[in-house]
Structure 1
Amino acid sequence: MPQLEVDGALLTYDDEGPRDGDGVPLVFVHGWTADRHRWDHQLDHFSAGRRVVRLDLRGHGESGGAGSRTIEAAAADVVALLDHLKIERCALVGHSMGGMIAQTIALAHPERVERLALVGSISRMTYSRGRGLLMAASTLVPFKLFVAANIQRAFAPGHPREDIRRHIRASAATPREVVMTCYSAMRAFDVLDRLGEIRVPVLLVHGYHDIQLPVRQMLRMAKAYPDAEVRVIDAGHEIPLEKPAELTAALDRFLTARG
């Protein structure tokens, strides 16, 4: 289990697959209260033919440190790992908060990103007044209830309850400071007006039943990107858990398409 120290935090990561495989390395970034194992299906599939890297973000999973106070700070951790692994250019895949991190890297370091895939992610957090008040109020409830409410609504109707409970327990094990700090960082994130600067092929994969980050917000992104492909899946917000094989297939097609 390799680790890298970055600004006092030990970041745990996996680096698998052939160094001389097909295409540039594939780098996966997970979302809020998750860990690198969100990408187990994709790691198993893609590492047979190409180099695959995934990490636990600061304060998540098996990585130490407090949660990043900004999305830019989290992006800097990922870039530090790329530098450490001597990966000059990669295909970058991010889920939810991880997609925000991926977009930030693509904007700050365009030379490092060959393709960009965003799974259940957006470029600007937008709420109605009522939704904004509800989200602000939710931070005042007991921590475990706050986490449970957010994770429960991340899955599409009909998803097995025991699986949801298992992921609620895992998310609630993330330190409170990390959860709340990253939550604030996501709420402040906004790069929508800069998407025209990202000139690489982009894949937007979104769940039809996503009520955390609704499809209409993703479609607004799609119009802003110069070169974007859209795939809507019959799932909620947690596509890597709900429909891992469909996600892998969509990524496979995207990564092998000419761009």
Structure 2
Amino acid sequence: MPQLELDGAVLAYDDEGPRDGDGVPLVFVHGWTANRHRWDHQMAHFSATRRVIRLDLRGHGESGGAGVRTIAELAEDVLALLGHLKVDRFVLIGHSMGGMISQTIALAHPDRVERMVLVDSIAKMTYSRGRGLLMAASTLVPFKLFVAANIQRAFAPGHPREEIREYIRASAETPREVVMTLYGAMRAFDVLDRVGEIRTPTLIVHGYHDIQLPLRQMLRMAKAYPDAVVRVIDAGHELPVEKPEELTTAVERFVGSAAV
């Protein structure tokens, strides 16, 4: 596992696939409390034919370090890694908070983003009553219980419990400071009035049963995009692992026509 030392952090990442494959590199960015292994299915599929990069964001997975307070700062970490790998143009695929990071990069560097895929993500978080109650309870219950409640509600009903328990365990390893600080960063994130500036071809894929970032919030974002393709899949908020084959197929169809 390669690592990049960066401003007091150590970023773990994977860089796989042929350098002379079809298309520009695909860059996968995971969400809040997750890690790069959310993309295992997509990584295995795409790395057979093209270069694929993924990382553990600062404070997540096998990446150390804290201190990041905004989505823009996480975006700078992603760009620093791509600079280190000498990647100029790329396709961004971001899940949840990773989609917020992707939009931030697309707005700041439109010339570098070939295409973009937003998975279960939005341009502005609206605080639902259920999430408000859960966050209010976060100071009253043990941290691991709080994390478990968040992860449990992220999956559509009927998802295997043993898999959910494994994701709860992995998320609970994210330091409390990182979890709570970045939740605040997501609450503060708002580019809804700017997404009309994004001319990057964009695919928006969302779970029909997503209650973390509900479908109606995604549609509010989607209608502001000048030319986005929208795909809704019968899943919850964790599309990369709930319906990995369907997501991979949707991404492949979208990026397959990207310029080489």
Report the TM-score range of the alignment, normalised by the length of the smaller protein.
over 0.9
After superposition, residues 1-259 of structure 1 pair within 5 angstroms as 1-66=1-66, 68-128=68-128, 130-131=129-130, 133-140=132-139, 141-257=141-257
The alignment-based identity, stated in percent, is 77
Structure 1 distance, partners of 2:206, 2:11, is 28
Q: Deviations over 1:192-232 (max 9, x none)?
A: 00001110110000000000001111111111111100010
Q: Deviations over 1:66-102 (max 9, x none)?
A: 1521000000000001111111010000000000000
Structure 2 distance, partners of 1:107, 1:251, is 21
Count of aligned residue pairs for this structure pair: 258
Residue identity opposite 1:211 in structure 2? I
Answer whether contact 2:23 2:258 (CA < 8 A) is retained: no
Structure 1 distance, partners of 2:6, 2:249, is 34
Residue identity opposite 1:240 in structure 2? P
Residue identity opposite 1:230 in structure 2? V
SS of the aligned residue for 1:185 comes to helix
Q: 1:258, CA displacement in angstroms?
A: 6.1
Gaps in structure 1 of 5+ consecutive residues:
none
More deviation, 83-92/137-146: 137-146
Q: 1:256, CA displacement in angstroms?
A: 1.5
Q: Name the TM-score, length of structure 1 as normaliser.
A: 0.96
Q: 1:8, CA displacement in angstroms?
A: 1.3
SS of the aligned residue for 2:232 comes to strand
Answer whether contact 1:67 1:182 (CA < 8 A) is retained: no
Gaps in structure 2 of 5+ consecutive residues:
none
Looking at secondary structure, tell me which structure has more helix per residue.
1
Structure 2 distance, partners of 1:229, 1:137, is 36
After TM superposition, which residue ranges in structure 1, 4 or more long, deviate above 3 angstroms?
Answer: 130-133
Residue identity opposite 1:246 in structure 2? E
Answer whether contact 1:26 1:52 (CA < 8 A) is retained: yes
Structure 1 distance, partners of 2:74, 2:95, is 14
Tell me which of the two structures has the higher relative contact order, counting C-alpha pairs closer than 8 angstroms and 6 or more residues apart.
Answer: 2
Structure 2 distance, partners of 1:167, 1:216, is 26
Q: 1:139, CA displacement in angstroms?
A: 2.4
Q: Deviations over 1:15-50 (max 9, x none)?
A: 011111101100000001111111111111111111
Answer whether contact 2:206 2:215 (CA < 8 A) is retained: yes
Residue identity opposite 1:200 in structure 2? T
SS of the aligned residue for 1:91 comes to strand
Structure 1 distance, partners of 2:193, 2:130, is 23
Structure 2 distance, partners of 1:108, 1:135, is 33
Residue identity opposite 2:209 in structure 1? H
Residue identity opposite 1:214 in structure 2? P
SS of the aligned residue for 1:216 comes to helix
